[in-house]
Amino acid sequence: MKRKLISGFAGAAVALALAACAGGVAHAANDATPAQQKRQMFLRGAELWPIYCNTCHNARPGGEFSPTEWNMILMHMRTQANLPPQDAKAILEYLKASR
């Protein structure tokens, strides 16, 4: 359990470093079409989901809940996980789309 927590924190640090680098990418993303932006969110969510959502319990796969249920769950879990808004959006996009 302790080891899992530590690896979770290391993962969060990596995610923060990635988020810092992604600043330039996010700027370029303004030129992307809505479909491309959605795809970028999905991929970002796919990276962040195992990092954030595996810390306190097993990460639950997208297929386990409906999109409406995920909206409610993420409202609760984004405070539990102390998620930055953009990361919460990306994880939500990933969970809803990976059903």
| Residues forming the site for ligand HEC (CB under 6 A) | 52-53, 55-57, 60, 73, 76-77, 80-81, 83, 91
Q: How far is the CB of 87 from ligand HEC (least distance, A)?
A: 8
Say if CB 64 and CB 38 are below 8 A apart: no
Q: Which is nearer to ligand HEC, 15 or 52 (CB)?
A: 52
Say if CB 44 and CB 88 are below 8 A apart: no
Q: Which is nearer to ligand HEC, 33 or 58 (CB)?
A: 58
CB atoms closer than 10 angstroms to residue 47: 16
Q: Which is nearer to ligand HEC, 3 or 57 (CB)?
A: 57
Q: How far is the CB of 47 from ligand HEC (least distance, A)?
A: 13
Q: Which residue has the tokens 């989901």?
A: 49
Residue in 34, 36, 50 with CA at minimum distance from that of residue 95: 50
